[in-house]
Chains A and B, each alone.
Chain A
């Protein structure tokens, strides 16, 4: 490749997204120093690995990635199935694959594999004459999304499965669906809400047994989280403990926060998993409302920037990948902060770039690398 082309690639890198991501990562490290003390050094190493992965991904030709989408997708599914055989259990789920000194969560990487696969499908299936997708045409991408999601769901990793579902739905919506599909989706949504209302919220006369549709198929902790979400002030020592302690942490932070390493909820260890899923509560408790807004703003920059990359991409595959990755990040941020602030039920979802954990960090960096790759090669098309 010529030098000029290389310089153009550097100029075309999505600097806004990259700088905002780096800023969030550094905030995450600083925050971990308070939350988990010794863990921030490991996290710094994960960040270094993540950045290396990001750079490496930008060096690969996008067309190669596009042609490799099917093998990547199948490899990820293979890894997930392998997990069923040799996975290591942690906190009740078979989510970890142990490779020597490393422990990898294949589900984190499955998300990206799924986005690539769906993007490739929508790219190949481009019919300018008939831009909208009806039920039949949606069948293949739905299958592509449902297979890995189901495997993740039975791990059981409900959180990641939900994230994959929402990411896939965002991509499908983005691909433009017929109004009949929209109506059907609306009906399904209403039915779902109705089922939840029937199973959890419908007033049942004294002494009569509640007739449930799906509730009796749920695991105890999943059921508890939905009831906890619907009745946030109930069972504060049990199912709602996490949610309540998290809300106390966030709410007690106030406008200015209690100060770095001064959070009592953190110091007294009222919140388990505070360094992973509930990391946002540490930031909120110790740094206050304005710093939370700053963090949201940075995520906003990443999301809008990602959509900008998609917008400027002259290639359908690139555009879909960029939207998919943006959707992936958005849903994780939305669900994570939503759950920490009691808006959504508790599911095991990490906050991108903030939560402690190597797999999460590397998979997000992988996604950002793809974004940069798309952005940097837009002049090629």
Chain B
């Protein structure tokens, strides 16, 4: 291969120095410029680096309120004064700042070590994020901290909007609660939206359960954005002008169908440790009150709950987080019997006057199905009034389980009610096919008998039972709903919930009358099991129609034990389901007292109190200018005797009355209505 000259030549050699000199000069220029930036102008750039940056600062939009049907605020926001520490700026944090802060606020030793641990654990960019170390400071603690906050580097007291549930645990399962959005939700919710101004940010709260969750999109406003000078911690500097880029849009208010006054009364009268009271308007399906016990405090669960408290709640045998209104099902016991009765009437095998003879049980094959008493001869109305099991055994035996199940399903049992704001279970309405599928050995005739009295495999949620009784009363099955409408903060209607009719029940007028008569007899005729639900005093004219239920939880042994002799979890569930007024129902109430004992004694009185309150409120809310109003009669005043006046005063208009004259004229105006009332 041909190579060039084996030396590079003298001509090139000189130029190496030119090139080398040029390179060294270049590097020298860089060094001089670095000196200029890093040494001469150091202070200026250091100030810039710790002080001022332009940033998009989020301006939180206030979340909407949740109100009851009359406008009473059930959920709103209140300011909470929280303490934050930014670890990177907190010098001598563990040794001086935190102990000082602990004295000012009054932390105990455990809280102090927890905060020190949290501050020490922060690393990397986390150290520049303000960290919440205490919430809801008392007014005097705020003052104490603020007085010396300049001596506590990296410590800030900030006003943070906090969700407020004035009713505490009442209605908590319907309202829901909130907590911090998770990383997964962030990526899902923000999705393809502009990352710089995402709708949700880390640390934001999001609705969990109930209305807070299902109406998240309505309640949550749209955060605004300011372009603002912030320091290196991302904290806005007040002294620079703020440029608003996007105005925050407050969230909408959700108005519920709940009547807070009725809810409060239901909460007050609930008799047991666990269970539910539901009040529904049977004409619309709107829920008026929904108690689920035990409950939780959403104020606590919304960012104020410790791991220990969560653990305790999870271990609680009564399971406070379970919404007993719809997310739990139970044997309905005797409250199911109207279904069996209608099935019997519909089959044609039974009429109103078909009788059965109760000798304390019903024999089918070799086994005797027990009745709780000896009722003698009973027919439709007396059978339901006395809750005679034998009567319903005989119906089921005659028409079979499928005929009963068909009516049950028509009344909405065994399927979700589509109560959208809370999770629910569908319940069980067993038939032959169900037992063949589920029960070992398949369907046996005796299962129809158990189903007929609401035992065996039939399970309902209290909400299903309420909608069923609404349908018994009106002949219409509605979908239960708890949100009446959504409106903007200034009261403009956005979305109105219309009643949703699921189906008209296929029931003849005669059959309907028999059922209402029977349910009415349960409460209003001596010997009925629901006598304690009767209304008293001025309301006694309003007839309540309903049915008690005492659902067995465990097999009855040879000896029937008293309530007090059994373990709590083996005691019977007490049910009462009713509507009023019987002839034109305006309200349905279902009471379930878990392991409470007898429906008649341990559930019916609570229902009675709710009815009582409902009709009292109705009377109080009655329209002022209704049919009962008559205007007070006008008072005639005799014209004064004509007087001689000179032309000047006559021209001036009315005769000048002496000053006290109008006062004396007013007195009789106030008195006549009084006398009329008497």
Q: Which residues of A contact B (CB under 8 A)?
A: 37, 63, 66-67, 123-124, 126, 128, 131, 170, 173-174, 176, 236-237, 247-255, 261, 264-265, 267-270, 284, 288-289, 292-293, 296, 299-300, 303-304, 307, 310-311, 313-317, 319, 323, 326-327, 330, 333-334, 337-338, 341-343, 381
Contacts and interface: CB of A to CB of B under 8 A. Distances in A.
A298 B29 CA distance: 16
A252 B8 contact: no
Given A267-B128, A316-B8, A237 B54 contact: yes
B8 A254 contact: no
Given A307-B20, A341-B34, A251 B46 contact: yes
Contacts of B9: 128, 316
A292 B234 CA distance: 29
Nearest to B4: A316
Contacts of B31: 292-293, 296
A128 B35 contact: no
Contact of B30 (A170, A261, A264, A338): A338
Interface stretch (B10-18, B360-368, B484-492): B10-18
Contact of A248 (B15, B20, B48): B48
Nearest to B30: A337
B4 A315 contact: yes
A173 B53 CA distance: 45
B5 A316 contact: yes
B4 A254 contact: no
A37 B125 CA distance: 11
Nearest to A336: B30
Interface stretch (B36-44, B258-266, B286-294, B665-673): B36-44
Given A254-B46, A314-B8, A267 B124 contact: yes
B496 to A, nearest CB: 46
A249 B45 CA distance: 8
A300 B24 contact: yes
A22 to B, nearest CB: 19
Most chain A CB within 10 A, of B19, B35, B232, is at B19
Contacts of A288: 38
B39 A255 contact: yes
Nearest to B233: A268
Contacts of B6: 314-315, 381
B7 interface: yes
Contacts of B37: 247, 250-251, 341-342
Contacts of A247: 37, 45
DSSP majority for the B interface?
helix
A330 B8 CA distance: 22
B49 A265 contact: yes
A341 B32 CA distance: 11
A254 B48 CA distance: 13
A250 B125 contact: no
Question: Which are the 4 A-B pairs with shortest beta-carbon distances?
Answer: A251-B45, A252-B49, A254-B42, A289-B38
A123 B24 contact: no
Most chain B CB within 10 A, of A131, A170, A303, is at A303
A170 to B, nearest CB: 7
B3 interface: yes
Nearest to B7: A314
Interface in B211-250: 232, 234
A67 B4 CA distance: 13
Most chain A CB within 10 A, of B3, B20, B23, B24, is at B23
Contact of B39 (A289, A323, A330, A337): A289
B42 A63 contact: no
A381 B3 contact: yes
A292 B8 contact: no
A250 B49 contact: no
Nearest to A334: B26
A268 B234 contact: yes
A265 B52 CA distance: 12
Interface string B113-146: 0000000000011011000000000000000000
A268 B124 CA distance: 10
Contacts of B8: 310-311, 313-316, 319
A248 B49 contact: yes
Most chain B CB within 10 A, of A255, A268, A326, is at A268
DSSP majority for the A interface?
helix
A264 B49 contact: yes
Contacts of A176: 11, 15
On chain B, which size bracket covers the interface? 35 or more
Contacts of A314: 6-8
Contact of B34 (A128, A131, A250, A333): A250
A268 B128 contact: yes
Contacts of B584: none
A323 B15 CA distance: 11
A255 B53 contact: no
A221 to B, nearest CB: 18
B27 interface: yes
18 contacts: A126-B5, A248-B49, A249-B49, A251-B44, A251-B49, A252-B46, A254-B39, A254-B42, A267-B88, A300-B24, A303-B20, A304-B23, A310-B8, A317-B3, A319-B12, A326-B19, A333-B30, A338-B33
A63 B3 CA distance: 8
B90 to A, nearest CB: 15
Given A174-B19, A264-B49, A264-B50, A292 B5 contact: no
B30 A284 contact: no
Contacts of A299: 27
Contacts of B12: 174, 316, 319
Contacts of A63: 1, 3
A251 B19 contact: no
A10 to B, nearest CB: 22
A233 B29 CA distance: 22
A289 B33 CA distance: 11
Given A250-B37, A270-B53, A304 B5 contact: no
Contacts of A270: 53
B30 A341 contact: yes
A304 B38 CA distance: 26
A142 B457 CA distance: 94
A317 B42 contact: no
Given A248-B48, A255-B42, A67 B54 contact: no
Contacts of B125: 267-269
Contacts of B124: 37, 261, 267
Most chain A CB within 10 A, of B7, B24, B26, B49, is at B49
A237 B15 CA distance: 45
A337 B234 CA distance: 28
Contacts of B128: 264, 267-268
A253 B26 contact: no
A327 B20 CA distance: 10
B38 A254 contact: yes
Contacts of A261: 124
B46 A67 contact: no
Contacts of B19: 170, 173-174, 307, 323, 326-327
B38 to A, nearest CB: 4
A251 B5 CA distance: 50
A317 B4 contact: yes
Contacts of B46: 251-252, 254
Contacts of B3: 63, 315, 317, 381
B23 A307 contact: yes
A334 B41 contact: no
Given A252-B42, A284-B34, A307-B20, 15 more contacts: A128-B5, A176-B11, A251-B42, A251-B45, A264-B49, A267-B128, A289-B35, A296-B31, A304-B23, A311-B13, A316-B12, A319-B12, A338-B33, A341-B37, A343-B29
A252 B48 contact: yes
Nearest to B15: A174
Contacts of B234: 268
Given A128-B9, A341-B37, A248 B30 contact: no
Nearest to B126: A267
Contact of A253 (B24, B29, B38): B38
A333 B23 CA distance: 10
